[in-house]
Amino acid sequence: MKSPKKTGVICKIASHVTVGNKFLAEYAGRYNDKVTIIPSTIDTLSYQAADDYNKNSVPTIVWSGSITTLEHLKTLSSTLQELARTETFKLQVIGAADFQLDGVEIENIRWNSQTEASDLAKGDIGIMPLPDDSWSRGKCGMKALQYMGMGIPTVCSAIGANTEIINEGENGFLADDKAQWLSKLKMLLHSVELRSRIGKAGRRTVEQKYSAQIQAPRLFQVFGKVVETNLENG
């Protein structure tokens, strides 16, 4: 924050710029014509896909974040309260301070790098609400990719990289407003078959496009081109 123009300067002097999504690529492209999108990735060896989509007697909606991003979850407070008036579910909150919401059953879990994957695996549905602002449009959908990497069907705000990652109704769901959040969460709560179909498709998306195994060679190729160009230019 001391030098808000620094990012643009770094982009300008860089031999090549790698970014995580189209929004960031457009920004970097103002300063440098050598820009490659390398999305956030998931280690699919550590994140194992779900094989039981009816594992909980009470379906569990999971949100993972931090104290700073807890405000994003709070934007769904009234939606979750309304959902709880007609549906039975538990909300699992990973990584934030104790979070309570009247009328909603909540389990708070402290984030731990050693148990992160196994904690996520307890969830039946993953959620990623975001405000519609420039900061959110620059985010790269990591929460969504974590859920999807675990084979957990995911509902996200229709913002930024989320719209690049998710094909509506195929490998996840996007929501613009309260009505859409309610509708899509209800569909997933009511149908084990839908959770299985969407969850498995999300896992395939991660394996094919967002795994470390797929993207690491692309990043290596960028480094190789930079080294080759610098050697040619002396």
pLDDT digits (tens, 9 = 90+) for 73-129: 999 999 999 999 999 999 999 997 789 999 999 999 999 989 999 999 999 999 999
Domain assignment present for 190: yes
Domain assignment present for 51: no
Residue percentage of the chain with pLDDT more than 70 = 99
Q: How many CB atoms neighbour CB 132 within 10 A?
A: 11
Please give the mean pLDDT across all residues of the chain.
94
What pLDDT sits at residue 135?
84
The answer on 201 and 215 residing in a single domain is no
| 11 φ/ψ angles, rounded to the nearest 5 degrees | -60, -40
What pLDDT sits at residue 1?
62
The answer on 72 and 178 residing in a single domain is yes
Q: Which tokens is 7 given?
A: 């990012």
The answer on 198 and 221 residing in a single domain is no
Domain assignment present for 52: no
Domain assignment present for 16: yes
Residue with tokens 């960031």: 24
Domain span including residue 95: 60-209
Residue 187 to residues 31, 80, 108, Cα–Cα distance (Å): 45, 14, 24
What pLDDT sits at residue 16?
96
- Tell me what the mean pLDDT of segment 18-47 comes to: 95
Classify residue 169 by its DSSP letter: T
Q: How many CB atoms neighbour CB 88 within 10 A?
A: 11
The answer on 34 and 120 residing in a single domain is no
The answer on 143 and 133 residing in a single domain is yes
The answer on 14 and 65 residing in a single domain is no
Range in 10-24, 46-60, 73-87, 202-216 with the lowest mean pLDDT: 46-60
- Tell me what the mean pLDDT of segment 61-65 comes to: 96
Domain assignment present for 54: no
Is pLDDT of 15 > 80?
A: yes
Is pLDDT of 208 > 70?
A: yes
Classify residue 49 by its DSSP letter: P
Domain count, the chain: 2
Report pLDDT digits (tens) over 117-174: 999 999 999 999 999 888 888 999 999 999 999 999 999 999 999 999 999 999 999 9
| 3 or 196, greater pLDDT | 196
Q: What is the CATH number of the domain that holds 161?
A: 3.40.50.2000
C-beta of residue 165 within 8 angstroms of C-beta of residue 144: yes
The answer on 172 and 88 residing in a single domain is yes
Strands 90-94 and 60-64: parallel
